[in-house]
Structure 1
Amino acid sequence: MKFKSRKDTFFRVFIFVFSGLLLGIIFSRIFFAGKYEFLWIDILLLVVVALLIWLYFGTKYELTQSELKYQSGPISGKIEIDEINEIIKGKSLWSGLKPATARNGLIIKYGKYDEIYISPKTNDRFVKKILELNENIKITIN
């Protein structure tokens, strides 16, 4: 089953304001600088904008019978569902791996000390589906 990532207002504003600012810098250099000379900084700014848009539109999760797959722009991976020990609902992870686009998502603890933060569109539906695959996962509500 596939899940889209929830996008909160803070993330939307950050992505589009920052991208607009970077594009504004590029266009102002092209149209108002008199003689325009191509610089590598222009490519770097375009790459940053492309990466931000890729993160915005390319963050998703998939539950298969045996794995949780995640993708957020260039960041992707998978976790065996049998390795998941605990899911903490409604809390944000401020460090570590965060393929997410919203706050108050799910912290998934797996393995011995590993954890990842995700933000599916609806936390409850995601938790319900993952519990169907492994009912031994502890659910903690914050």
Structure 2
Amino acid sequence: MPKIFKSRKDQLFIWIIIIVVSMMLTLSISDIILSGLKLESFVLISINLGVSILLFWIFFGTSYELDKKELKYFCGPFKGKILIADIKEITKNTTKWVGYKPATARKGIIIKYKKYDDIYISPDSNVAFIKEILKIKANIKIS
């Protein structure tokens, strides 16, 4: 039976969502007030609504599923999987600012797999996640 880990929610990510959605809402309202309801207003509102939905989907829809063969990650519409056999090293309690990050918090985990690939995730408990993955593959280097 797979073990599911929700992504930890960080204050930085929460504030980014609040600020971005507030700015887009302000732009949409001010555009309607200044120019009325025109085709351009509907386009702007549609784009702002789409971006807001994407941000909320990522915020509430980020999780990780660990079973005996693979780690699956879900981050809004983005998803993928990594074979447990390919994982070589886990760096815990760190933050990665560039690269692929299906995560909603800092101080998470960097998983190095295959030859040069890595991914940053932020499970609700780094310790519990590492314990579970070590039950499946005990020879993963932890740093």
TM-score, normalising length from structure 1? 0.93
| SS class of match (1:33) | helix
Asked whether 1:133 is paired with 2:139, we answer no
CA drift at 1:73: 1.2
Contact 2:28 2:44 (8 Å CA) reproduced: no
Percent identical residues? 47
* Residue aligning to 2:25: 23
CA drift at 1:10: 0.6
| The one of 92, 97, 100 aligned to 2:95 | 92
CA distance in 2, matches of 1:98, 1:35: 40
* Residue aligning to 1:124: 127
More displaced 10-residue stretch of structure 1: 19-28 or 47-56: 19-28
More displaced 10-residue stretch of structure 1: 93-102 or 19-28: 19-28
TM-score, normalising length from structure 2? 0.92
* Residue aligning to 1:3: 5
* Residue aligning to 2:44: 41
CA distance in 2, matches of 1:35, 1:10: 35
CA drift at 1:34: 5.6
Contact 2:70 2:81 (8 Å CA) reproduced: yes
| SS class of match (2:51) | helix
CA drift at 1:35: 2.6
CA distance in 1, matches of 2:127, 2:20: 32
CA gap of 1:34–1:93, structure 2 versus 1, over 3 A, is closer
Structure 1: state its 5+ residue gaps: none
Asked whether 1:74 is paired with 2:106, we answer no
Paired residues in the alignment total 139
CA drift at 1:93: 1.3
CA distance in 1, matches of 2:22, 2:65: 31
Structure 2: state its 5+ residue gaps: none
Kindly provide the CA deviation profile for residues 10-48 of structure 1, in whole angstroms up to 9, marking residues without a partner as x.
Answer: 110111221122122213333x23632132222111111
CA-based RMSD of the aligned residues comes to 1.1
Letter in 2 for 1:16: I
Contact 2:8 2:124 (8 Å CA) reproduced: yes
| SS class of match (1:131) | helix
CA drift at 1:91: 1.0
Q: Runs (4+) of structure 1 moved beyond 4 Å? A: none
Letter in 1 for 2:15: V
